[in-house]
A and B are shown apart, each in its own frame.
Chain A
Amino acid sequence: MAVKSLEELRKLRKEYQDTLSLRKQGEHEGDQIELRVGLGTCGISAGAKDTFHALLEEIKTRKLKNVKVVGVGCMGQCKSEPIVEVRKPDHEPLVYGPITADLAKDFIEDTVVNEDYYKDGTLLIKSFEKVEV
């Protein structure tokens, strides 16, 4: 399968690019939105992993470049799992729950695309700052 031109090579690069996307996101600094999904035991049993993948799917469908989804430990308020925390640069973190997989589409639309807060969901707390170790 010899590559015969620069155009063919660039096409091939597009095809392979996804393999590096998580690594690029991780290195990225600045204007990135971080969605943190609580992956504690109760989070997982409430469907946090489905939410996680639904968020990833939605980000891919919309070809959003400035957002990454990260799994984090227990969020603390078990009755509201699955919990998603939205961290935007220069904004106070917002914590939502429950965000089940079927809400992922609207959730992304409100928080990332429209850069607003998620209107239909329960806003648990406005700030969730922990002391950095």
Chain B
Amino acid sequence: MKERLTVLVCGGTGCIASDSDVMLSTMQEKIKELGLQEEVRVLKTGCFGFCGQGPIIKIQPDNIFYVKVKLEDINEIIEEHILKGRIVERLLFDDPKTHKKVKAHRHMDFYKKQLRIALRNCGTINPEDISEYIAARGYEALAISLQEYSPMDVINIMKDSGLRGRGGGGFPTGLKWEFTYKQDVKDKYIICNADEGDPGAFMDRSILEGDPHGVLEAMAIGGYATGASKGKIYIRAEYPLAIKRLEIAIDQAREYGFLGKNLFGSGFDFDVEIRLGAGAFVCGEETALINSMTGLRGEPSKKPPFPSEAGYKNKPTSVNNVETLANIPAIILKGSQWFNTIGTPMSKGTKVFALAGKVNNIGLVEVPMGTTLREIIYEIGGGIIGGKKFKAVQTGGPSGGVITEEHLDTPIDYESLKSIGSMMGSGGMIVLDEDDDMVEISKFYLDFTQEESCGKCTPCRIGTKRMYEILERLTSMEGTPEDLDILEDLANNIKYSSLCGLGQSAPNPVLSTMEYFREEYEAYAYRTKKTAYTIIEDKCIGCTKCSRVCPVDCITGKVKQVHIIDEDACIACGACYDACPVNAIEKP
């Protein structure tokens, strides 16, 4: 019996949260019961990226992509598709634009414009099986580097490729490695920064869960290039699945001799150790990360000296982000020229974004640099949910800002996003629609940063707290117009006087929303903001639906008579708005 079908069940955190792990084991058991284990292989893979449609099950070579699968659907997939070759139509993806069922992922708008380099193995191989990684040309880039290139050759390939740090800063990776390489010191380190902390961002987690060997291989290549024989992965303890898969991968790599002594007979030793962080946002900053790893408080220190001169244990250290590393084996195998042709003049390659918020297609997308926000939101993302009006997109998380309609055609790269007041950041992308309140959005981010401020420098520690208090005052209708000036002044001062990136960028969400949506701040400051829903008398038919759904019972009126909302009691939940059959309710 030869294998005739491969069933790939998503094993990413998102799908596991919807029981994909139970589906996997149920399916494996049933296949065994039917005696089909030799011809049908059922395995788990990393994240497919289309998390909004999870759990996802893909069947090859038929190339069928089942979405939103439930445990009770497993039997039908086995009985119909696996045994009888009949596609289970109801589990196919329903295109939000055409309302047609789509069988293969490559015909979905979500995947059409994507180019997967960092995510190349996510959703195709079993992350817990090194033989599958090897079958996908795994560890070949490391072997080639060790056997055919000098460390300086590898650094030059990285420099020529134009790869820049994907953690947000965008520092050229080749240069970073060269600085570390040039330090004439015996012990050096390479650190993988997996302290992904932006709310809503999960690129690094998905890469580590879906392709842990890719990151380990890249770390070994980086170790060889910089002269480091020790690698450390700094990952937050709240990523248990990524940690587990990394541990499995490290054990397997050691067994095959891809980690340890004398790799590929070259005389180069390299091994990797995992260090768990407690999940502080500031520890994503490289000096704070190194302090935390050393056992000190997770606080940043002044640069220079840069980690490439004096980092972990005061030794030259190269700190690279997960997504940056995930690109490296592909660059070695395909060449710097290949990578260099993708992207914009200053930003090469691709970027992974976690697309979330009010878009139809939610998930992880990897696109070439230079793709416009419009393409991401309207083509890949399938537009705004419920056909509502686009308001803005927030990029860069708590360090970034909002981008409005007028800049939607900006090609995304490090420089262009900065020039319009936002930043690439690590890749969070939250789409906001007409219902979102920009003051509340910036308050949300500031609440995050003021809590995550490590407290070492005054501007950040006290400044962000004061900013948050002003926003609190404004949103509870207790602010004054002067508050806006103070807020802006504070924001600028914090930006220019904070010690590290956290404080320097914390005011960005406020500054950018103030620039583009100042009228919303003013509505709060001058207390002209409408906070309650109202009923348009002419339209109301007195059906009583609104008063029945109101959670605070503030709508009164008799059957077939005009209803009235008590504006003081209204909590603006919007339930009446959704319930009204004749659009007689007006938003605040």
Given the known A-B contacts A26-B63, A39-B84, A73-B85, are A20 and B132 also in contact in the complex, defined by CB atoms under 8 Å? Answer: yes
Q: Does B415 contact A (CB under 8 A)?
A: no
Interface size class of B (residues with CB under 8 A): 35 or more
Q: Does A40 contact B (CB under 8 A)?
A: yes
Give the contacts of B238-265 with A (CB-CB under 8 A): 255-258, 260, 264-265
Check B63–A27 contact: CB distance below 8 A: yes
A62 vs B187: C-alpha distance in the bound complex, in angstroms?
Answer: 53
Check B140–A20 contact: CB distance below 8 A: no
Can you give 16 contacting A-B residue pairs, CB < 8 Å? A1-B255, A2-B257, A2-B260, A3-B139, A4-B257, A6-B143, A13-B135, A13-B137, A16-B131, A16-B134, A23-B8, A60-B2, A71-B4, A71-B5, A71-B62, A73-B86
As a 0/1 sequence over residues 257 to 276 of chain B, the CB contacts with chain A under 8 angstroms (1 = contact) are 11010001100000000000
A16 vs B256: C-alpha distance in the bound complex, in angstroms?
Answer: 14
Chain B residues within 8 Å of A1, by CB: 255-257
Check A3–B264 contact: CB distance below 8 A: yes
Check A25–B137 contact: CB distance below 8 A: no
- Of A49-57, A89-97, A107-115, A119-127, which stretch is located at the interface? A49-57
Q: Does B6 contact A (CB under 8 A)?
A: yes
A27 vs B125: C-alpha distance in the bound complex, in angstroms?
Answer: 13
Out of B61, B83, B136, name the residue touching A22 (CB < 8 Å). B61
Check A39–B4 contact: CB distance below 8 A: no
Give the contacts of A58-101 with B (CB-CB under 8 A): 60, 68-74
Nearest residue (CB) in B for A17 is: B135
Check A53–B256 contact: CB distance below 8 A: no
Check A133–B85 contact: CB distance below 8 A: no
Q: Does B147 contact A (CB under 8 A)?
A: yes
Chain A residues within 8 Å of B39, by CB: 53
Q: Does A37 contact B (CB under 8 A)?
A: yes
Chain A residues within 8 Å of B137, by CB: 13
Give the contacts of B92-140 with A (CB-CB under 8 A): 100-101, 106, 124-125, 131-132, 134-137, 139-140
As a 0/1 sequence over residues 421 to 455 of chain B, the CB contacts with chain A under 8 angstroms (1 = contact) are 00000000000000000000000000000000000
Given the known A-B contacts A1-B256, A20-B125, A39-B83, are A9 and B63 also in contact in the complex, defined by CB atoms under 8 Å? Answer: no
Chain A residues bordering chain B, tally (CB within 8 A): 40
A124 vs B374: C-alpha distance in the bound complex, in angstroms?
Answer: 50
Query: Which of B84, B86, B89, B137 is most buried by chain A, counting CB atoms within 10 A of its CB?
Result: B84
Given the known A-B contacts A9-B143, A23-B61, are A3 and B86 also in contact in the complex, defined by CB atoms under 8 Å? Answer: no
Chain B residues within 8 Å of A37, by CB: 85
A-B contact count (CB 8 A): 117
Chain A residues within 8 Å of B140, by CB: 6, 9-10, 13
Min CB–CB distance B525 → chain A (angstroms): 55
Check B264–A70 contact: CB distance below 8 A: no
Chain A residues within 8 Å of B147, by CB: 5-6
Q: Does B1 contact A (CB under 8 A)?
A: yes
Q: Kindly list the 4 A-B residue pairs having the minimum CB-CB distance in the complex, ordered from nearest.
A: A2-B257, A26-B60, A71-B85, A73-B86
A2 vs B100: C-alpha distance in the bound complex, in angstroms?
Answer: 51
Check B2–A23 contact: CB distance below 8 A: no
Chain A residues within 8 Å of B62, by CB: 26, 70-71
Check A22–B60 contact: CB distance below 8 A: yes
Chain B residues within 8 Å of A25, by CB: 60-61
Q: Does A12 contact B (CB under 8 A)?
A: yes
Check B3–A22 contact: CB distance below 8 A: yes
Min CB–CB distance B529 → chain A (angstroms): 49
Nearest residue (CB) in A for B145 is: A6
A23 vs B123: C-alpha distance in the bound complex, in angstroms?
Answer: 10
Min CB–CB distance A88 → chain B (angstroms): 16
Check B132–A19 contact: CB distance below 8 A: yes
Check B265–A4 contact: CB distance below 8 A: yes
Chain A residues within 8 Å of B101, by CB: 133
A53 vs B4: C-alpha distance in the bound complex, in angstroms?
Answer: 8
Chain B residues within 8 Å of A52, by CB: 4
Out of A3, A5, A17, A22, name the residue touching B256 (CB < 8 Å). A3
Out of A13, A22, A26, A70, name the residue touching B85 (CB < 8 Å). A70
Chain A residues within 8 Å of B61, by CB: 22-23, 25-26, 68-70
Chain B residues within 8 Å of A9, by CB: 134, 139-140, 143, 264
A52 vs B4: C-alpha distance in the bound complex, in angstroms?
Answer: 8
Q: Does B536 contact A (CB under 8 A)?
A: no
